[in-house]
Amino acid sequence: MKKLINDSDDVVDEMLDGMTAAYPDMRRLPDTQVLVRDDAPVDGKVGVVSGGGSGHEPTHGGYIGDGMLDGAAAGDVFSSPTADEFEELIAATDSGEGVLAVIKNYEGDVMNFETAIEMVEMEGTDVATVVVNDDVAVEDSLYTSGRRGVCGTILVHKAAGAKAAEGEDLDEVQRVAQKVVDNVGTMGMALTSCITPEKGEATFDLPEDEIELGIGIHGEPGTERTDVMSADEITEELTESVLDDLDLDEGQEVVTIVNGMGGTPLMELFVVNRKLQELIGDHGLETWDAWVGDYMTSLDMEGASITVCAVDDELKELLGAPADTPGLTVQ
Amino acid sequence: MKKLINDSDDVVDEMLDGMTAAYPDMRRLPDTQVLVRDDAPVDGKVGVVSGGGSGHEPTHGGYIGDGMLDGAAAGDVFSSPTADEFEELIAATDSGEGVLAVIKNYEGDVMNFETAIEMVEMEGTDVATVVVNDDVAVEDSLYTSGRRGVCGTILVHKAAGAKAAEGEDLDEVQRVAQKVVDNVGTMGMALTSCITPEKGEATFDLPEDEIELGIGIHGEPGTERTDVMSADEITEELTESVLDDLDLDEGQEVVTIVNGMGGTPLMELFVVNRKLQELIGDHGLETWDAWVGDYMTSLDMEGASITVCAVDDELKELLGAPADTPGLTVQ
């Protein structure tokens, strides 16, 4: 294994310091792996926070900034942050208006966020939650009861962050976050395994002539191994699975995301987007906005996921509202 | 080789269609591999264009938009665009105020841009050029007389694009572009080779226990093969080479870029940025802005480059001015 790291034990710590060195609008809470807006808590605004294992960058710390997250807790690579860290995150981002916790559906994240919430509620902080479970590939998985939370989470961050930036209250911020959760689906695939810094070898074995459909973002198994397929065939498999699940009416407007898993050239993501947009049209749907890039990665894994989210006027306004973060800027 | 492509002969064509499907503010000139702003030529504004081989995305098409490029020609993977395509690019972006061509120093790009310029000048179009040669690793190389043009080119796009957006004339736009060229240096390294779609196997052989310093963006040889080193050691090698070349005075403000080569997890780029900023401080320099991400890639190569550019008040204003492109947004 060759990686641009020092000691694998220090990689998250050093990454977080590298982030605050790049982005002076963020700061790290002392002796934690928690990043928050430098001006947190923001007076009069509901806080919006998230968190989870590291290795998915820019998720989640890269979405801290105006119009998205107030802060994020980073666990070790592919490991949940502790309840203590979630507690510090919520405390540091509550201005008195309450905090929305956006939780990807993994058992560790859910459990540790819930423990943290019990603690801060005893101190009088209002907390609302949404649990994102957009992965249509599998019911239950290695780390999950119910569906996994994957790239659709970014749209939840965006909509909730925009609503909070408007000065709306916690109930409203939670409502729009849940509205995204109710209208989004994602499915991913891998050409290659990821390699964690700690283990230093492939998390799973994927022969040179096979790919895995329905893969999770930690290298956990998908739905099916198949022979290598073309980009168009892969895009069709993923898109049809997502659209089957969403069951949208003709004429429905959608946001689409072609998300790279970390090691995939951007060139290939555009090749996928070309076919995706053709399929969206074939289904009588209308793309309101198409995102292409690395939004929620799995270290150096090569592969991609496709996300589709049905949008109405309210979600279009929120997803199109200004945001200024390292991982996503809308103006 | 596993890639998210269909036929390797179609990959650039399909990528370009995937880009225009994602970005309605861009259009593709018919029967070419040229992308331009949808509203090109922009009345009363100097055009700023670039181009080169594909495989470096988001370079260059991803920098088309307000405050950066008016258009870009995409060659086949790692191949120069033709003179005809450069000619169409310049013609489509000239509003009568002239066009600045930002050329990375590769023999094919320089030759084909020059041929195109001779043609359009006969039609009465004013064209100015800058040749970017920021790679401090090697004098002359496989595809170059003199130093190669690499990631510093993005800063040239940004400064020239901002100056053009202010409505300044061609001489002024060229002057600030050249100012960036005169003040920027870059050096890169690879952990792994890239794999082109056409060849389907590693462009060069790099053993599991070695890395290559001073690598080019097409897999052309660097300055030195060494045993695997830590991120801090690699960062020090690259940074010291760049700073030796620039020979800056103490107290000088700089922009830094940690650029991923396409297959490198963002996590690792932040680990590099942490050490880079420490070294910048050790040299008595001051970072005015730090960029971290995939700006100029080499397909799926794992590795990174470090760019340092000395900035004065004028360059800070231009680099900090608004820009709205898929690959870089400043607000």
Q: What is the pLDDT of residues A96-146, one digit of tens each?
A: 999 999 999 999 999 999 999 999 999 999 999 999 999 999 887 767 778
Kindly tell me if the per-residue pLDDT of B220 is higher than 90: no
- pLDDT of B195 reads 93
pLDDT band at B1 (very low <50, low <70, confident <90, very high): confident
Are residues A191 and A256 located together in one domain of the fold? Answer: yes
Measure the CA–CA gap between B62 and A292, rounded to whole angstroms.
11
DSSP bridge pairs for A73: A34, A51
pLDDT, tens digit, for every residue of B257-294?
A: 999 999 999 999 999 999 999 999 999 999 999 999 99
Q: Identify whether B7 is part of a domain.
A: no
- What single letter denotes the amino acid at residue A65? G
Tell whether the model's pLDDT for residue A28 goes beyond 80: yes
| Percent of all residues in chain A with a pLDDT value above 90, rounded to a whole number | 92
pLDDT for A328 beyond 80: yes
Same domain, B67 and B172: yes
3-state SS class at B242: helix
Residues 6+ apart with CB under 8 A from B222: B137, B138, B188, B189, B190, B212, B213, B214, B215, B216
pLDDT value at residue A156: 98
Q: How far apart are CA B291 and CA A89, in angstroms?
A: 26
Residue B274, class by beta-carbon neighbours within 10 Å (0-12 exposed, 13-18 middle, 19+ buried)?
A: buried
Nearest Cα to Cα of residue A189 among A301, A54, A308:
A301
Which tokens hold the place of B98? 């002239």
- Do the Cβ atoms of A272 and B326 come within 8 Å? no
The C-alpha of B149 sits at a distance from chain A's nearest C-alpha, in angstroms, of: 20
Chain centroid, CA B278 distance in Å: 25
Can you tell me the distance from the alpha carbon of A291 to that of A282, in angstroms, rounded to the nearest whole number?
19
CB nearest A292 (choices: B6, B22, B269): B22
User: For the residues of A38-49, what is the DSSP string, one character each?
Assistant: TTPSPTTS-EEE
Calculate mean pLDDT across residues A197-209.
90
Minimum-distance CB partner of B21 among A17, A57, A273: A273
Record: contact A4-B231, CB cut-off 8 A: yes
**Nearest residue to A267 (alpha-carbon basis) of B318, B25, B324, B77:** B77
B318 sits in which H/E element = helix B313-319
Please state the rounded mean pLDDT for residues A13-39: 98
CA distance A291 to chain B (A): 7
Q: What is the pLDDT of residue B146?
A: 87
Kindly state whether residues B94 and B207 are assigned to the same domain. no
Which pLDDT tens digit goes with each residue over A228-252?
999 999 999 999 999 999 999 999 9
Task: For residue A242, give both structure tokens.
Answer: 């997502």
What are the two backbone dihedrals, phi and then psi, of residue B262, each rounded to the nearest 5 degrees? 125, -40
Q: Inform me whether the C-beta atom of residue B4 falls under 8 Å from chain A C-beta atoms.
A: yes
What is the extent of the structural domain holding B83? 13-182
Contact state of A14 with B274 under an 8 Å Cβ cutoff: yes
R_g of chain B, CA atoms, integer Å: 19
Query: What phi and psi values does residue B275 have, to the nearest 5 degrees?
Result: -70, -40
B187, β-bridge pairs = B306
pLDDT value at A18 more than 80: yes
| Count of C-beta atoms within a 10 Å radius of residue A143 | 17
pLDDT of residue A204: 87
User: What pLDDT does residue B331 have?
Assistant: 87
pLDDT bucket at B104, cuts 50 / 70 / 90: very high
Tell which residue, B55, B117, B63, has the closest CA to residue B85.
Answer: B117
Domain shared by A107 and A44, yes or no: yes
Residue B313 CB neighbours (<10 A) = 8
> Considering the domain boundaries, does residue B319 fall inside one?
no
- Cα–Cα distances (Å) from B44 to A118, A273, B40, B124, in that order, read 61, 34, 11, 16
Does residue B330 lie within any of the structural domains? Answer: no
A162 burial level (CB within 10 Å; 0-12, 13-18, 19+): buried
Residues A212 and A158 in one domain: no
pLDDT at B160: 98
Q: Summarize pLDDT for A256-304 with one digit per residue, the tens.
A: 999 999 999 999 999 999 999 999 999 999 999 999 999 999 999 999 9
Question: Which residue matches tokens 């009069």?
Answer: A44
Please state, rounded to an integer, the average pLDDT across all residues of chain B. Answer: 96
Whether residue B104 lies inside any domain: the answer is: yes
**Is the bond preceding residue A326 a cis peptide, omega within 30 degrees?**
no
Peptide bond into B58 cis (omega under 30): yes
Question: At A167, phi and psi to the nearest 5?
Answer: 90, 15
Angstrom distance (rounded) from CA A276 to CA A183? 18
Classify strands B99-104 and B127-132 as parallel, antiparallel or unpaired: parallel
| Residue A153 and residue A215 share a domain | no
Write out the two tokens for A306. 């496709």
pLDDT of residue A144: 73
What are A126's strand-pairing partners? none
A contact residues 196-235, partner B, Cβ 8 Å cutoff: 208, 211, 228, 230-232, 234
Examine the fold and report which residue of B182, B217, B234 is the final residue of a domain before the chain moves on: B182
Residues B128 and B246 in one domain: no
Question: How sure is the predictor about B145, in pLDDT bands with cuts at 50, 70 and 90?
Answer: confident
Provide the terminal-to-terminal Cα distance of chain A, rounded to the nearest Å. Answer: 40
> What is d(CA A250, CA A286) in angstroms, rounded to the nearest whole number?
9
Query: What's the pLDDT score for residue A221?
Result: 78
- Determine, yes or no, domain membership for A314: yes
- β-pair partners for A117: none
Is A43 inside a domain boundary?
Answer: yes
Do A162 and A321 form a contact (C-beta atoms < 8 A)?
Answer: yes
Which residues 283-322 of A have a C-beta within 8 angstroms of B?
Answer: 290-294, 297, 299-300, 302-304, 322
Residue A120 DSSP SS3? helix
The Cα–Cα gap between A247 and A183 comes to 10
Stretch 237-266 of chain B: residues touching chain A, C-beta under 8 Å: 262-266
Taking only the tens place, the pLDDT of each residue in B108-129 is 999 999 999 999 999 999 999 9
B33-49 residue pLDDT tens: 999 999 999 999 999 99
| Mean local confidence (pLDDT), A60-77 | 98
Residue B122 is predicted with a pLDDT of: 96
Identify the bridge partners of residue A54 per DSSP, sorted by sequence position: A77
Continuous H helices in chain A = 11-22, 83-93, 107-122, 153-165, 170-183, 231-246, 266-282, 313-319
Same domain for B260 and B280, yes or no, is: yes
Given the structure tokens 């990665």, which residue do they identify?
A: A297
Count of all residues that appear for chain A in the document: 331
* CATH number for A220: 3.30.1180.20
Q: How confident is the model at residue B21 (pLDDT cuts 50, 70, 90)?
A: very high
Of the three residues A138, A158, A183, the one that is the final residue of a domain is A183
Give B250: exposed, middle or buried? Use CB within 10 Å, 0-12, 13-18, 19+: exposed
Comparing CB atoms, the residue among A5, A292, A329 nearest residue B329 is A329
| Count of structural domains, chain A | 2
Q: Do B311 and B273 contact (CB within 8 A), yes or no?
A: no
Establish, for the pair of chains A and B, how many residue pairs have beta carbons separated by less than 8 Å: 185
Q: Are A305 and A189 in contact (CB under 8 A)?
A: yes
CATH number at residue B132: 3.40.50.10440
Residue A146 has a pLDDT of 87
Of the listed ranges A131-135, A146-150, B136-140, B310-314, the one predicted with least confidence = B136-140
From chain B residues 80-99, the ones with a CB under 8 A of any chain A CB are: none
pLDDT band (50, 70, 90) for residue B222: confident
CB contact under 8 A, B271 and A6: yes
Residue A4 is assigned to a structural domain of this protein: no
CB neighbour list of residue B157: distance below 8 Å, 6 or more residues apart: B48, B50, B60, B63, B68, B69, B102
* Average pLDDT over all residues of chain A: 96
pLDDT range class, residue B144, cuts 50, 70, 90: confident
Check if the beta carbon of residue A302 is closer than 8 Å to that of residue B300. Answer: yes
* Through-space distance between the first and last CA atoms of chain B, rounded to whole angstroms: 40
Residues linked to residue A183 through DSSP beta bridges, in sequence order = none
Which string of DSSP letters, residue by residue, matches A190-212?
Answer: ESS--B-TTT-SBSS---TTEEE
The pLDDT score that the predictor gives to residue B221 is 78
pLDDT surpassing 90 at residue B177: yes
Residues 6+ away with beta carbon under 8 Å from A267: B11, B12, B15, B54, B55, B57, B299
Residue of B nearest to A20 (CA): B274
> Above 80 in pLDDT, residue B233?
yes
Does B326 reside within a domain?
no
Q: How far apart are CA A72 and CA A85, in angstroms?
A: 9
Residues A179 and A59 in one domain: yes
Q: Of A183, A203, A235, which marks where a domain is finished?
A: A183
DSSP letter for A251, please: T
| Helix-, strand-, coil-residue percentages of chain B, each rounded to 5 | 35, 25, 40
Which pLDDT band holds residue B157 (cuts at 50, 70, 90)?
very high
Q: Do both B34 and B113 map to the same domain?
A: yes
Distance CA A78, CA A54 (A): 6
C-alpha–C-alpha distance, residues A13 and A157, integer Å: 24
Pairwise CB contact (< 8 Å): B18 & A273: yes
What band does B131 get if pLDDT is binned at 50, 70 and 90? very high
Do residues B101 and B74 both lie within one domain? yes
| Same domain, residue pair A126 and A208 | no
